[in-house]
Amino acid sequence: MPLRLLRALAAVALAAAVPAHATLAIVLNSGDESLSIVDTATFREVARRPVGKEPHHLMKTPDDRYLIVANAASNELVFLDPATGNEVRRLANISDPYQIGFSPDQKWFVSASNRLDRIDVYDAKDFRLVKRFPAPKVPSHIAFDQASRFAFVTLQESDEVVAIDLAAMEIAWKMKTGRQPAGIWMTPDDRHLLVGITGDKFVEVIDWRERRLAKKLLTGQGAHNFMPLGDGRHVLLSNRVANTVSVIDQQTLEVKESFPVPGGPDDMEVSRDGRQLWVTSRWARQVVVVDLGSKRIIATIPVGKSPHGIFLKDHAPRR
Amino acid sequence: MIDWAERAFGSLHQWVFEGIVLPAAGGLGLSGYAEHLFDGTELFLIGVLQLALLLALVRPLEAWRPVERWADRHAVRADVVYTLLNRLGLVPLVVFFALRPAVDGLDGWLRMHGFVPPNLEDWFPWLRAHPLAAFLVYLAVLDLAEYWRHRLQHRLGWWWQLHALHHSQRQMSLWTDDRNHFLDDLIARGWFAVVALAIGVPPAHFVAALVVTQLVESLSHANVRLSFGRIGERLLVSPRFHRMHHAIGAGHEGPARGCNFAQLFPVWDVLFGTARFDAAYHPTGIRDQLAGRDYGEGVIRQQWLGLKRLFGLDRGSRPAPRAA
């Protein structure tokens, strides 16, 4: 709405240079075409910058040099300096990049085109399009096996997981899931895929080699997205409707606990020391910071509309 | 102030969504569609605010300086229904579900054939860092497209048979903007969506452009003696300017099948030779209504007669009126 545009303009005027030594969080305001830069020491938004249309997700390049923001509606990737959030370059002609991911061998860059039912595989070296797969309906999140043989993508509106054989560059198989699978995560032992069933309240544990459902983990309504705790054992899951985050033990494949996080918790980050959880509240225009020891909310930081992806400069290991 | 208003709206949006919409969706097994419902809730609330704004600001203007005083406002009722159906989201919802597969299908097909639709920012990168300027450029381009859509509505005989419903209101008021045949709505929004796709309108701009256009259009249809002055009349469509577009004997006749087609910016009419800046406030309607042609009074009959006209089944149905 017009107010939002005026707000964005005002934010540009306010945007101050962020000192490189500051610890920062970068939040993608998917409904505002902007990103927020938050000082993690003061829990305050220090800048808001236009970034592009529908920025949903972001990730570091495998060499850790850049942070890539995927602008779904502007068909481009924006490369940021992860230390400052400053733009380094833009890469056009990346069709509708919603979720993105590099294969572990760093050979492939996979982009799920959520709106247009496509999964695109690019050469990770030069982002040259290698293959475009029709993938109805609504491809969403991406995971890989450790050998980088397969990319697994949830199909949110056809209730499936699709496996793309990256060696043969063909669709290997599809498997039915519960209603509206979204987040997908490979356990460290490379044996199971965890799938957040957003249309329901559980995680499906899939033995992907056998292509069978091994187990269901009851978490909370709107089971949505994963982020590892960083200890190599636990992974966090946001339950977007229940307004909780669940802790899943990846060895025992059990839910250890769930704790409240308000406002539609979506994407998450864990601080390097493992003490803080940063969560975007999709419905509330805010980021919530939770003390992982006490599970209490220690900060609520106003940001832009429909905050989605989040990145901490000093984040925990992705394991 | 802007910050406060945005936060207040954001809080209201969250409260309605999490307090009412999401629980109801959960009961219906639709909570997986939360993102769509979240956006839909925003559009509904914007509609409610729009209606509040119209009642608080434009309706008093109509009462203060009306062009026409009506003893009986019966004919306005159907327009109120159209406005509620449109602004509170029912018509846009149906149109969205009708159009989305086609528009996304076209977009997806283009990409499978190696064509990624460009954005205006690809040609003018400066716009990326200037949201307000970008918004105004997108608004101008969309308004130009709307101008030509409106020209075609008057030029093409079949389209006029649908669009005539909009012009058949002889008690034109702030409610008249949404008085359209639903097929006309579908085509118009399809046109808007394809143009938006072609130039890469950002989602937030899409909503903002719609809101700005709707508010100006409600005002421009109002039954109020209001001109924006010699310069202002050329910058933004006023009630006086748009009334000429609805005038019997002027608004739908002549070589261009009418005048003053612009929705926001009269500059398009000036550029393409269809502007009339007469000072007079004329009665509104279509000439054949003076000879007794019936366009219907209630919504259902109006829709039915529109279909009959479209297929040439309405007795006395004829192409768009020619020059007087």
Q: Which of residues 162-191 of B touch A (CB under 8 A)?
A: none
User: A150 near A164, Cβ under 8 Å?
Assistant: yes
Per-residue pLDDT reduced to its tens digit, B29-47? 887 788 889 988 998 999 9
Residue-wise pLDDT tens digits, B250-271: 888 888 899 999 999 999 999 9
User: Is the confidence at residue B319, as pLDDT, over 70?
Assistant: no
Tens-place pLDDT, residues B176-190: 999 999 999 999 988
Strands across the sheet with A87-92, in order? A55-60, A67-71, A76-80, A87-92
Q: Is the CB of B211 less than 8 angstroms away from the CB of A2? A: yes
Q: CB of B107 within 8 Å of any CB in chain A?
A: yes
- pLDDT at position B59 is 96
Predicted pLDDT of residue B115: 85
Q: What is the DSSP letter of A15?
A: -
User: Which of A122, A142, A176 is at the close of a domain?
Assistant: A176
- Assess whether pLDDT exceeds 80 at residue A16: no
What local confidence, expressed as pLDDT, does residue A243 receive?
Answer: 96
Average the pLDDT over A1-6 and give the result: 47
pLDDT band (50, 70, 90) for residue B203:
low
Distance CA A114, CA A121 (A): 14
**What mean pLDDT is reported for chain A?**
92
Is a pLDDT exceeding 80 seen at residue A289? yes
**Sign of the CA dihedral A43, A46, A50, A51?**
negative
Mean pLDDT for A232-239 is 97
Please indicate, yes or no, if residue A126 is contained in any of the structural domains.
yes
Whether residue A4 and residue B6 make contact (CB cut-off 8 A), yes or no, is yes
| Higher pLDDT pick, A269 / B114 | A269
Give whole-number Cα distances, B157 to A170, B164, B319, B321, in Å. Answer: 51, 10, 5, 9
Nearest CA-CA partner of A261 in A277, A273, A249, A248? A277
Q: Does A50 sit within 8 Å of B128, measured CB to CB?
A: yes
Pick B116's closest partner by Cβ from A10, A52, A75.
Answer: A75
Q: Which residue range forms the structural domain that includes residue A228? A: 195-260
Residue B132 near chain A (CB below 8 Å) = yes
Mean pLDDT of the residues in chain B: 89
- A68 lies in a domain? no
Interface check for B40 against chain A (CB to CB < 8 A): the answer is: no
- Whether residue A316 lies inside any domain: the answer is no
Q: Which of B287, B285, B274 is nearest to B318 (CA)?
A: B287
In this prediction, residue A113 carries a pLDDT of: 94
Q: Does residue B33 belong to any structural domain of this protein? A: no
Answer whether B208 sits within 8 Å of A53, measured CB to CB. Answer: no
* HSE-up (13 A, CA, CB side) for residue B29: 3
Contacts of B152 (CB under 8 A, 6+ apart): B159
- Do A154 and A209 share a domain, yes or no? no
Q: Which residue of A has its CA nearest to B33?
A: A199
Considering only residues A133 and B211, tell me which one the structure prediction assigns the higher pLDDT: A133
- Report which secondary-structure segment, H or E, holds A237: strand A234-239
Min Cα–Cα distance to chain A from B114, Å: 9
**Residue A164 and residue A107 share a domain:** yes
* Of the residues A215, A237, A260, the one at which a domain ends: A260
| Chain A CB within 8 Å of residue B24 CB | no
Give the pair of three-digit tokens for residue A125: 């070296």
pLDDT digits (tens, 9 = 90+) for B124-147: 889 888 888 988 998 999 999 999
A118-123 and A108-113 beta bridge pairing? antiparallel
Sign of the CA dihedral with A282 first, then A283, A287, and A290 last: negative
Per-residue pLDDT band for A10 (boundaries 50, 70, 90) equals very low
Interface test with A, best of B119, B137, B213 (most A CBs within 10 A): B119
Split into its structural domains, chain A has a count of 2
> Does residue B183 sit within a domain?
yes
In chain A, residues with a C-beta closer than 8 Å to the C-beta of B9 are 1, 3
Its domain, for residue B116, covers 65-310
For residue A132, list chain B residues with Cβ-Cβ distance below 8 A.
111-112
Tell me the shortest Cα–Cα distance from B64 to chain A, in angstroms: 28
Backbone dihedral angles phi then psi of residue A43, each to the nearest 5 degrees: 60, 40
C-alpha–C-alpha distance, residues B203 and B138, integer Å: 12
Each residue's pLDDT tens digit, A197-224: 999 999 999 999 999 999 999 999 999 9
Residue from A138, A136, A139 nearest A152 by CA: A139
Chain B, 211-240: which have a CB under 8 Å from a chain A CB?
A: 211-212
Read off the amino acid at residue B263: Q
| Residue B245: inside a domain | yes
List, in sequence order, the alpha helices (H) in B200-298: 203-220, 229-235, 239-246, 267-271, 287-290
Based on the structure, what is the number of domains in chain B?
Answer: 1
Confirm whether A43 is domain-assigned.
no
Whether residue A21 lies inside any domain: the answer is: no
Is pLDDT at B20 greater than 90 in this prediction?
A: yes
Selecting from B32, B203, B205 the residue whose C-beta is nearest the C-beta of A199 gives B32
Instruction: Please check the confidence at residue A53 and state whether its pLDDT lies above 50.
Output: yes
pLDDT at residue B113 is higher than 90? no
B18 vs A179: CB contact, 8 Å cut-off? no
A116 Cβ under 8 Å from any chain B Cβ: yes
CB contact under 8 A, A241 and B34: yes
